[in-house]
Chains A and B, each alone.
Chain A
Amino acid sequence: MTHDNSNNIDVNAIHDMALLDHFIDGIGQKVIILSPSFPFLFIGTIVDVVEDLIELDVETTHFSQLEDRTWFIHIHNIEVFYIERPGEPQIPELKDMT
């Protein structure tokens, strides 16, 4: 049996686009992202979405040495995320012991 691909919709493209739209909609908001690669955790504010990269003003990662700087995170490297929006649950405040 043959299959006609001419009318196929690229599901992956739709998926990526929806994700990007969601992040674009979240510009200026606080986000928590878990990634499978080092340094695994980011908490910060979404500055911009550049092509398929999220530009993030990172205030917290796993390692303090990598904080307070801008990170670009490819959307395919995001395993888990949550964008904090007004009225929704807040991302926990992470504080080093003082």
Chain B
Amino acid sequence: MIRRYHVVAIPIRIVVNNFGDHNPDGRMYVLKEKEAKVKELVRKNPFTPVELVQPLTIRANEGDVVEILFENQLPFAAGMHFQEADYNVLTSDGANVGLNPSSLAECGEQILYEINATREGIYFFTDLGNVSSTEDGSSIQGLFGTLLVEKRGSWWTDPETGDPLNSGVFADVHNPFLPSFREYAWFFNDEMEVDDLTGNRPINPQTNQDAESFHGVNYRYEPLHNRDRLLEEGVVCPDCDGEEVHHDSWVFGDPATPILRGYRGDPTMIRLIHAGVKETHVFHYHVHQWLRDPSNAGSEIIDSQAISPQSHYNVQPLYGLGSLSGAIGDVIVHCHLYPHFEAGMWGINRIFDTLQDGSQCYPNGVPIAALQPLPDRPCLPRPTKEKPGFPNFIPGKVGCKAPRPPLGIVGGREMTELEKNAAVPNARPGAVFTDSCLGNPVVVEFDVSMIELPIVYNKQGWNDPKGRIYVLDKDLDDVLSGKKEPEPLVLHIPAGSCIRLNFTNRLPHILDGDAFQLVTRTYEVGFHIHFVKFDVLVTDGANVGWNYDSSVLPGETIRYEWFADTELKAFFFHDHLFPISHQQHGVFGAGVIQPRFSQFFDSTTGEETERGTQVTVTHPIIPDYRDFALFVQDFALLFDKNGCPLAPPEFPGSQDDPGVFGVNYKNEPLQFRLGKDCDPAYSFSSFVNGDPVTPILMAYEGDPIRIRLLQGAHEESHSFNVHGLRWKSERPDNDSILLSQQHIGISESFTMEMDIPRAGDYLWAFEDEEDVWNGTWGLIRAFDQEVEDLIPLPDRPLPPPRTKPLPEVTGKPPALANPQSTLPPEASPNAPIRRYDVVAFQTPIVYNSYGDHDPFGIIFALEEDVDDILCGKKNPEPLVLRGNTGDIVEVTLTSRLKFELFPFQDGIHPYPPVKEQAFYPPSLRISLHVSLLDYDVTTSSGDTVGFNPDQTVGPGEKITYRWHVHDAVGTCAMWDVADLRNHRSFGAFGAFIAEPRFTTYLDPLTLEPVKTGTNIVLNNPLLGGNSREFVIIMHDGVRLVDKQGQLIVDPIDGILGVQDDLEDLVDTYDNGSRGFNYRTERLINRFREHPVLSDLFSSKVFGDPATPVFEAYAGEAVTIRLTMPSERRRAHTFHLHGHVWKFDPRDIDSRMDSYVGHMVPGAAEDLLLIGGAGGIFNFPGDYMYRSGNIRWDIEQGMWGIMRVHDKDQPHLPRL
């Protein structure tokens, strides 16, 4: 059917909370029929949020054609670009790209878009008429919305009235064949302009400095600094400090941010959308879990999900609201990045247990709006005086902090009569209103305390004098006396257990002040847990909404109960009362829900244990394994040995990226590992520098291992890479793709399960430049002979007795590796060999026609192309090598690096900057590391790590790596590891593509065989003949100069328009230019030539961009190989207009996406375009591929074109 909407883009004042904070320059999409009403309400309520001012959410059904009449009332050309949709790119792209006619509407004009809603899902829409990242832009000021496509035959009603609904972020969705469900659209938006009631920038009353920028949900935010002011003035709760009551409705009433209301057990769908411009957030939803890929039952179960700008996910909580145990109460939903949480990026999912018909009130007298029950759910009891239902049985006092839970505190209170009426029959400490443990399972019990103690992070004395950690009570003496090294607490628990925790607060009342932080009265602490089931009212370890405050005061003990219903990953735990103040000091840990019937042993002594970051797990049925836990940290507030703060903020209390980094309370900065020869190539070598203090994960050759990857603190994205190993992306799914890199944000948890095929040292690293520079790396060490401090796995053959001495530190570089001496572990002896001769050398790289260039480029190229590149006949592109399944690929690498061609010969690399700058001279050695392939890590990993031989080459040297293509894993990232500071961002990277067996590679113009190239034709007789392969290498952190030789300081130099407060906005890892395949089409260059924002992507005005223009004919099979080998921590989104692909290309059940989030160093993706070029309908035209980050990628040149022809082109043969 055809469904029609008339949408208007309007300027609007957006009031973002009840404190009168507002955006005077907001912009939004609204339905025409609501336009007048919205404008009138806003005019009458200049300082109060208006319900109708919300991101436009409209709906359609699968199979519908949606006609959108778009009317533009903004003072610039604007449009609506729909992700996921199928549409004619010439008429309905909502953009002005390449040679297409513009599908933007000028100010005052209208345009008709026709959108095919082919599949159920989130069709997020934004404007591409004005991509400025400043407050003059559109997205940043609120111009976004979504079309939600429901299952065929659905209809939707207002949750309050039950009436039909035309638009709205909340709806009840019904279908004749499917359960009705609650649908909540949840738009993260960030960096929007906000003024306070007085029209000035909001001030943080604690620091008296500018408050953090806007981080909110659905145009609302509820920052701590506003609520703090009410405490300071003594209006409410004068004995409170601030952070511990930030989310407390007893003190402040409900927040202005979304409250997702439902009844216990209601089926639910949160449409999670990142409509913001810059940060990769982590969406966390207490109590509930969901499948990462809802269409794939073999997908991972998660309860935190990182989300990059212009990405979106369906969050469908398993078991409905309240999860398996049927919890009731207020469940906080928030961005887990703590500075964002503090800035107001949170809301509540309120789960009622009694019918709300509009006659009831909250404890503060505010009426509870009616909530229609879902028609196919059981009837709910009505509230009575004896059983008033949540929240009215809780004995709190309005204006005061929430009460403590009954039964939980040792020596605390019993239940009131109303609480008894609301309690489950067998109410007990930690499980009063929900029976969290089903039936009568086995019980495991832990006694844990929180303590403060100094923690030393490395041999150079970097230290946190106020470390705060969880520790088992039985370990208290050993940890406090220094006998036991502090490490994050990791508890090991078999699935099916009922877990009881007795948690004692042994912290001092005060977190002292210093260069990083102001004095804070952190007088209570909790133990908040992820994944497991629990009674959220009393065991959340938090203080949320109308719930109890389930934390504990100093010297007291609280009892919690959780249920591990099935084998899970590592479940994260941390404090939820003062996490912004002290989690970065170490307040985090994990429990690992191991397979039922497991036993756990100390890997060194063989004694049975229940805790440890490295343990050995045995099981009667499944193979035994090593279990390792790694917690990455940022905002580590460390001092050097002389007491000087490391990377302090501008003022104490600032959240502007203070401190450095760590893993498990340790770091091993590269600046201390130059060795006597001052050569970065041996920074990871244990021969030269000894082993790092960071974790060395120990195993024997052949052992199965599981790495539990977590992030303990505090705000930033990190990119975990393991060199030489790989694991399944979706562990329960046999069809899963393989990975050797994983993006992580705080509170996410990943389990990487694999075997170690061969003895050697494997590098693990959070491998963006700044992280690894500051020491976030370590080793996986696999022994081939017995060692004293590692028990063998009982079900594996005993390791042979030691005959060779263990290697020792020599202070000298190791001997050169001999890759010809071994075969890759999985290779067959008669495998075909494919050979490449690769040279690493320096050459200027011209990035665009405006003369932006890198005069100090370092590239890899095939030997036969070197002369053409050096004489300027060929402008280089990143090296792309290929091999077929079964091949052994021998890559002979030669270094022609010259010291005089490095820009920073004094050893100080000033731009793009990193924290803790130090002397680190450029290495003349270079290497080539590849991810995902099969090779002997001691010879062919392209890095000199631990006690492995040297795998780098100096000038005049050669090494021939042996890589085995064990499977058609597609895109693999390639980069140099010899000098991650001075080489990689200058171009020392590329890609390897692992193709199916029998594939040949052809030039797209001549169809003659080729050896390399980013744009080729693949021929495979078994896979349908020919297809096109486009390799897109996304990279950032580039140091460019303009044609006058002036340094380009991106992102600042590329911003379109005027931007205030630049110093606060740009983090170290935002610095540097960026683009695709050594090219960037910075919009500022175009804007200077022709200052019309809506024309900036137009080839009719500017010609084609410098970034690759990939060409195909409509309907031709196309695979995009996307990777990001280099180099910064800021995560990017990749989006291709008008096309979709499988999230997991190997899995037919996998969801379809038109974007890839979380692009950070090491990422490698394969996008098999469904329907081929032009999408499912094969529409010809120019399709933009681009970053989803308005701030700061698109302006800075991260975009290009895929051109889909319908007519024959003389230069391009059809497939």
Q: Of A65, A92, A93, A96, which one neighbours B494 at CB under 8 angstroms?
A: A96
By the criterion CB–CB under 8 Å, are A97 and B620 in contact?
no
A53 vs B621: C-alpha distance when bound (angstroms): 25
By the criterion CB–CB under 8 Å, are B442 and A94 in contact?
no
CB contact under 8 A between A96 and B497, given known A64-B441, A65-B439, A65-B441: yes
Q: Which residues of A72-98 are within 8 A (CB) of B?
A: 92-98
Residues in B whose Cβ lies below 8 Å from that of A65: 438-439, 441
Is A22 in contact with chain B by the CB < 8 A criterion? no
CB contact under 8 A between A93 and B442, given known A63-B496, A63-B566: no
Cβ-closest chain A residue relative to B492: A97
CB contact under 8 A between A92 and B442, given known A62-B566, A97-B599: no
By the criterion CB–CB under 8 Å, are A95 and B438 in contact?
no
A64 vs B597: C-alpha distance when bound (angstroms): 11
Interface string of A40-82 (1 = CB under 8 A from B): 0000000000000000000000111100000000000000000
A80 vs B597: C-alpha distance when bound (angstroms): 20
By the criterion CB–CB under 8 Å, are B620 and A94 in contact?
yes
Q: How far apart are A67's CB and chain B's nearest CB, in angstroms? A: 10
A96 vs B495: C-alpha distance when bound (angstroms): 9
Residues in B whose Cβ lies below 8 Å from that of A62: 495-496, 566, 596
Cβ-closest chain B residue relative to A32: B621
By the criterion CB–CB under 8 Å, are A96 and B496 in contact?
yes
Cβ-closest chain A residue relative to B498: A64
Cβ-closest chain A residue relative to B494: A97
Residues in B whose Cβ lies below 8 Å from that of A92: 620-621
A94 vs B494: C-alpha distance when bound (angstroms): 12
Residue among B497, B565, B566, B597 having the largest count of chain A Cβ atoms under 10 Å: B597
Cβ-closest chain A residue relative to B438: A65
Number of residues from B at the complex interface, CB < 8 A: 16
Residues in B whose Cβ lies below 8 Å from that of A63: 496, 565-566
Is B444 in contact with chain A by the CB < 8 A criterion? yes
Q: How far apart are A14's CB and chain B's nearest CB, in angstroms? A: 30
Q: How far apart are A71's CB and chain B's nearest CB, in angstroms? A: 17
Cβ-closest chain B residue relative to A66: B439
CB contact under 8 A between A64 and B442, given known A96-B496, A96-B596, A97-B599: yes
A65 vs B435: C-alpha distance when bound (angstroms): 14
Q: Is the interface of A mostly helix, strand, loop or mixed?
A: loop
Q: How far apart are B438's CB and chain A's nearest CB, in angstroms? A: 5
Residues in B whose Cβ lies below 8 Å from that of A97: 442, 444, 494, 497, 599
A63 vs B565: C-alpha distance when bound (angstroms): 8
A97 vs B599: C-alpha distance when bound (angstroms): 8
Q: How far apart are B494's CB and chain A's nearest CB, in angstroms? A: 5
CB contact under 8 A between A96 and B566, given known A64-B439, A64-B496, A65-B438: no
Q: Which residues of B465-514 are within 8 A (CB) of A?
A: 494-497
Residues in A whose Cβ lies below 8 Å from that of B441: 64-65, 96
Residues in B whose Cβ lies below 8 Å from that of A94: 596-597, 620-621
Q: How far apart are B734's CB and chain A's nearest CB, in angstroms? A: 11
A95 vs B599: C-alpha distance when bound (angstroms): 10
A63 vs B621: C-alpha distance when bound (angstroms): 15
Residues in A whose Cβ lies below 8 Å from that of B621: 92, 94
Q: How far apart are A92's CB and chain B's nearest CB, in angstroms? A: 3
CB contact under 8 A between A93 and B620, given known A63-B496, A63-B566, A64-B496: yes
Residues in A whose Cβ lies below 8 Å from that of B494: 96-97
Residues in A whose Cβ lies below 8 Å from that of B565: 63
Residues in B whose Cβ lies below 8 Å from that of A96: 441-442, 494, 496-497, 596-597
A98 vs B444: C-alpha distance when bound (angstroms): 7
By the criterion CB–CB under 8 Å, are B597 and A95 in contact?
yes
Residues in A whose Cβ lies below 8 Å from that of B444: 97
Q: Which residues of B602-629 are within 8 A (CB) of A?
A: 620-621
Cβ-closest chain B residue relative to A60: B597
Q: How far apart are B21's CB and chain A's nearest CB, in angstroms? A: 49
Q: How far apart are A95's CB and chain B's nearest CB, in angstroms? A: 7
A64 vs B621: C-alpha distance when bound (angstroms): 17
Cβ-closest chain A residue relative to B595: A62
A60 vs B1035: C-alpha distance when bound (angstroms): 53
Residues in A whose Cβ lies below 8 Å from that of B439: 64-65
Residues in A whose Cβ lies below 8 Å from that of B597: 94-96
By the criterion CB–CB under 8 Å, are A98 and B442 in contact?
yes
Cβ-closest chain A residue relative to B567: A62
Residue among A64, A93, A94, A97 having the largest count of chain B Cβ atoms under 10 Å: A97
Q: Which residues of B413-440 are within 8 A (CB) of A?
A: 438-439
A93 vs B621: C-alpha distance when bound (angstroms): 10
Cβ-closest chain B residue relative to A93: B620
Residues in A whose Cβ lies below 8 Å from that of B620: 92-94
A58 vs B175: C-alpha distance when bound (angstroms): 39
Q: How far apart are B965's CB and chain A's nearest CB, in angstroms? A: 32
Q: How far apart are A31's CB and chain B's nearest CB, in angstroms? A: 14
Residue among B441, B497, B596 having the largest count of chain A Cβ atoms under 10 Å: B596
Q: How far apart are B601's CB and chain A's nearest CB, in angstroms? A: 13
Residues in A whose Cβ lies below 8 Å from that of B496: 62-64, 96
Q: How far apart are A61's CB and chain B's nearest CB, in angstroms? A: 9
A96 vs B620: C-alpha distance when bound (angstroms): 12
Q: How far apart are A30's CB and chain B's nearest CB, in angstroms? A: 14
Cβ-closest chain A residue relative to B439: A65
A96 vs B595: C-alpha distance when bound (angstroms): 10
A5 vs B565: C-alpha distance when bound (angstroms): 52
A62 vs B441: C-alpha distance when bound (angstroms): 12
A94 vs B442: C-alpha distance when bound (angstroms): 13
A98 vs B565: C-alpha distance when bound (angstroms): 17
A65 vs B564: C-alpha distance when bound (angstroms): 12
A33 vs B91: C-alpha distance when bound (angstroms): 59
Q: How far apart are A96's CB and chain B's nearest CB, in angstroms? A: 4
A81 vs B1190: C-alpha distance when bound (angstroms): 56
Q: How far apart are A81's CB and chain B's nearest CB, in angstroms? A: 13
Q: Which residues of B1067-1107 are within 8 A (CB) of A?
A: none
A62 vs B596: C-alpha distance when bound (angstroms): 7
Interface string of B564-587 (1 = CB under 8 A from A): 011000000000000000000000
Residues in B whose Cβ lies below 8 Å from that of A64: 439, 441-442, 496, 596
Q: How far apart are A41's CB and chain B's nearest CB, in angstroms? A: 8
A62 vs B598: C-alpha distance when bound (angstroms): 12
Interface string of B773-813 (1 = CB under 8 A from A): 00000000000000000000000000000000000000000
Q: How far apart are A62's CB and chain B's nearest CB, in angstroms? A: 7
Residues in B whose Cβ lies below 8 Å from that of A95: 597
Q: How far apart are A57's CB and chain B's nearest CB, in angstroms? A: 19
Interface string of B700-717 (1 = CB under 8 A from A): 000000000000000000
Residues in A whose Cβ lies below 8 Å from that of B438: 65
A71 vs B455: C-alpha distance when bound (angstroms): 54
Q: How far apart are B727's CB and chain A's nearest CB, in angstroms? A: 22
Cβ-closest chain A residue relative to B440: A64
Interface string of B509-543 (1 = CB under 8 A from A): 00000000000000000000000000000000000
Q: How far apart are B568's CB and chain A's nearest CB, in angstroms? A: 13
A93 vs B441: C-alpha distance when bound (angstroms): 18
Q: How far apart are B602's CB and chain A's nearest CB, in angstroms? A: 16
Residues in A whose Cβ lies below 8 Å from that of B599: 97
Cβ-closest chain A residue relative to B599: A97
Known contacts A63-B566, A64-B441, A94-B596; 12 further A-B pairs (Cβ under 8 A): A62-B596, A63-B496, A64-B439, A64-B496, A64-B596, A65-B438, A65-B441, A94-B597, A95-B597, A96-B441, A96-B442, A96-B494
B-side residues, CB < 8 A to A, are 438-439, 441-442, 444, 494-497, 565-566, 596-597, 599, 620-621
24 contacts between A and B (CB under 8 A): A62-B495, A62-B596, A63-B496, A63-B565, A64-B441, A64-B442, A64-B496, A64-B596, A65-B438, A65-B439, A65-B441, A92-B620, A92-B621, A93-B620, A94-B596, A94-B597, A94-B621, A96-B442, A96-B494, A96-B597, A97-B442, A97-B494, A97-B497, A97-B599
A-side residues, CB < 8 A to B, are 62-65, 92-98
7 smallest CB-CB distances across A and B, nearest first, come from A92-B620, A96-B442, A94-B597, A65-B439, A64-B496, A64-B441, A97-B494
